[in-house]
Structures are given as C-alpha cells and as structure tokens.
A = this chain, B = another copy of it.
C-alpha cells in the first residue's frame, strides 16, 4: 500500500524484501484458514502449499515446521489481545468501563482468523515448548483481565463475585464465538461482538437499572 511511481521492471531491494514478507503472510494465512476449517491434524502442509501453487519445501523455507506455524498463528492472536488490553488499560475509567472495552476488543479478535485459531487449538496439539509459551501467554492475558474485574468490584462498578469464575465466564462466552461465528452469516463481526458483550454484561435477569446503548461511539464501533 506504499505509493510508488511507475513500477520499474527491476525491483529494488526493498521491493524484494516486501515481496518476501507478502509471500510469508500469504502462506501463513493459507495455513491458519486451513487449521480453522479442517483442524490442525487434518491439515497437510502439502495441501496448504498446493493452495498457494507451491510445494511443501517452500513452506519450510518461509515458515518452518508445522508446530512453528501453528504457534505463530496462536501467538499472533494472543498478541493482538494483549495489545488491545494494554491500550484499554491506559485509557483509565472505572473497572467496569475498562472491562467492557476490553471484552469488546477481545470479541472482535475472536471473529478473525488468528483469534479463532486460539480457541480452536488445544494445548496438546503444540510441542511441549510451544505449549508452554502458549499457556504462558494465555495465563498472562487471563491474569490481566481478572485484575480489571477485581478493580471493578473494588470501585463498585462491577457486581461482587469470584473474579476467577467471572473472568472464565466472560472470556468463555467470547471464546465460543470462534466456534459458531460464520462471516457469511447474517450478522457482521461487529454486530456479533457488540451483542455478545452486551449480553454478558447485562445478564439474564430483569431489573437492571442502567441500560447502555449498544452502539455508543466510545467503543469505536464501525
């Protein structure tokens, strides 16, 4: 997307570097799509390669072995979540407000390829080393969210309860999006994210006092 003048037939060094990255990205995309669609084990690297009109060794050249590929996929998803959380943490506001913004970001990521890959990937599909890193990242995210819940309870903006369970319930409901959301379905990713988060926060019992709009600007809805 960098604008350059009339393309020379002799690509510059920078072009070649970009091309290399593009190829890498394309292969990773093809891999994550296949992992999500058919599952990690049922995905053969031959097929992934073929889908991009190359052969298996090319995949090894760009991405490494199958375990490294899967780990890179979930890593990206988890890093996205971590970044969302980090940016929310900086905004300030009550625990509840931060929790809400954070869940919204989390939910959006769950509708994307790398995000979906996180919850579709079971720990034991990764090598022991990757698994340890995978778990560590998840634990870190979990701990951060839990802390926000605790702060919300402390400042009275979130209903009291067991923060561990509350975190699992909220993230569990969002993780599940990755298992049922269909981009070609009737709802957009953004609609799904917003309505899921609203439902989680609101609960099922009537009698809640406040009722926030579903589409207020501060959530950055499209």
Complex Cα distance A202/B207, Å?
Answer: 10
Judge whether A159 and B208 touch: CB under 8 Å: yes
* Residue among A99, A169, A179, A199 with most chain B CB within 10 A: A169
A144 within 8 A of partner (CB): no
A158 within 8 A of partner (CB): yes
Taking residues whose C-beta sits less than 8 angstroms from the other chain, chain A's interface range is 35 or more
Complex Cα distance A152/B201, Å?
Answer: 18
Q: How far is the CB of A40 from chain B (nearest CB, A)?
A: 8
CB-contacts of A37-72 with B (<8 A): 37-39, 41-42
10 A-B residue pairings within 8 Å (CB atoms): A152-B204, A159-B203, A161-B199, A165-B195, A170-B204, A172-B175, A172-B176, A176-B176, A201-B204, A207-B208
Binding site for B on A (CB under 8 A): 37-39, 41-42, 96, 99, 120, 122, 124-125, 152, 156-159, 161-162, 165-166, 168-177, 179-180, 192, 195-196, 198-210
